[in-house]
Amino acid sequence: MSFVRIAVSGVLRTWDGAERTGVNAAYVRALLCAGGIPLILSPLMGASLAASALDGCDGLLLTGGEDIEPSWYGAEPSPFLSPPSQDRDLFELALFAVARQRDLPILGICRGIQLINVALGGTLYQDLPSDRPDSVDHSPAGARDARSHPIRLQPGSRVAAALDATEITVNSVHHQAVENLAPGLIATGWTGDGLIEAAESESGASWILAVQWHPEEMYADSRAPEHGLFSALVTEAGLAGRSSVGRGRKEDTIAHAVERTP
């Protein structure tokens, strides 16, 4: 049996007086439900090891977490910016660059859609309540799997096909979001006031799908449409010829190029 291996970008946290690295278990559970094998990649590896870290992986999942350093997209820090992690930014930018070079399918979640947008030349709202005040609360109090606001999806888009819907009510846990969409990405999901909630790559380009909400938190509901996002990633990653084992190592130069101070 051939297993589809999905690299999952991790975080570094201090908890109970000790440094710990990993991911929220919901990401792992969601990928397992879709038939994938999650492989957690810690930012402690550093950008120079991004190419080696992706060896043997068939796809990449970029997870949620810290704000992104605004100098990556030419902005001054907002007073409402949460502390970024330069090490994580560098590692994930390198992972993204290598994954694209190897034509690995990429799914971005929350911070993931933001990182993809920045990596391709887009910009972000650093803090929605101050940069873009609106009636939609994108970070409401309550459980992480509580659905809080509706979004509309572009009919015929990759995200609409994965969710088998053109409208869905999603959970929401973020204060940053896509402002100017990067070249090469197509917006395919929006809130009622036009904030981008989903984006994907153009036809013929490397497979990218990214969403602003947290679909992994719905893993326990077998009927949740969000399972379709992870299934789409695993299915795409499982196509013949996706494995990076044995490929050339020219991607190392990409990782080293990213490893710089923004």
Return the residue matching tokens 């509309």.
152
Task: Give the pLDDT mean for 227-256.
Answer: 69
- The verdict on whether 57 is a catalytic residue reads no
Lowest mean pLDDT among 139-153, 208-222, 238-252: 238-252
Token couple for 85: 């992690």
Mean predicted confidence (pLDDT) in 102-115: 97
CA distance 13 to 112: 18
Q: What pLDDT does 262 receive?
A: 52
Q: Which CATH architecture has domain 4-258?
A: 3-Layer(aba) Sandwich (3.40)
Cβ partners under 8 Å of residue 49, min gap 6: 255
Residue 158 CA, chain-centre distance (Å), reads 15
CB-based contact 91:46 (threshold 8 Å): yes
Mean pLDDT, range 156-170, rounded to an integer:
98
Catalytic residue among 197, 214, 227, 251: 214
Catalytic-labelled residue, pool 92, 197, 200, 216: 216
Confidence of residue 32 (pLDDT cuts 50, 70, 90): very high
41-75 pLDDT tens trace: 999 999 999 999 999 999 999 999 999 999 999 99
**pLDDT-derived band of residue 170, with 50, 70 and 90 as boundaries?**
very high
Asked which of 15-19, 72-76, 92-96, 161-165 is least confident by mean pLDDT, the reply is: 15-19
* 3-class state of residue 232 by DSSP: helix
User: What is the pLDDT, as a whole number, of residue 249?
Assistant: 45
- What is the predicted pLDDT for the residue at 243? 45
Binned at pLDDT 50, 70 and 90, residue 247 comes out as very low
**pLDDT at position 255, please?**
53
Q: How far is the C-alpha of 252 from the C-alpha of 52, rounded, in Å? A: 8
CA 108, distance to chain mean position in Å, is 2
214 is catalytic: yes
Q: What pLDDT shows up at residue 248? A: 41
Neighbours of 207 (CB within 10 A): 20
Task: Report yes or no: 182 and 133 within 8 Å, Cβ to Cβ.
Answer: no
What's the pLDDT band for 134 if we cut at 50, 70, 90?
confident
Q: Which of 13-17, 132-136, 151-155 has the lowest mean pLDDT?
A: 132-136
Q: What percentage of the chain reaches a pLDDT higher than 90?
A: 78
pLDDT, tens digit, 9 for 90 and up, residues 185-202: 999 999 988 999 999 999
Contact 125, 48 (CB under 8 A): no
Catalytic residue among 33, 69, 92, 110: 110
Mean pLDDT of the region 105-127: 97
Residue 198, CA atoms < 13 Å, CB-side half-sphere? 27
Q: Is residue 241 scored above 90 in pLDDT?
A: no
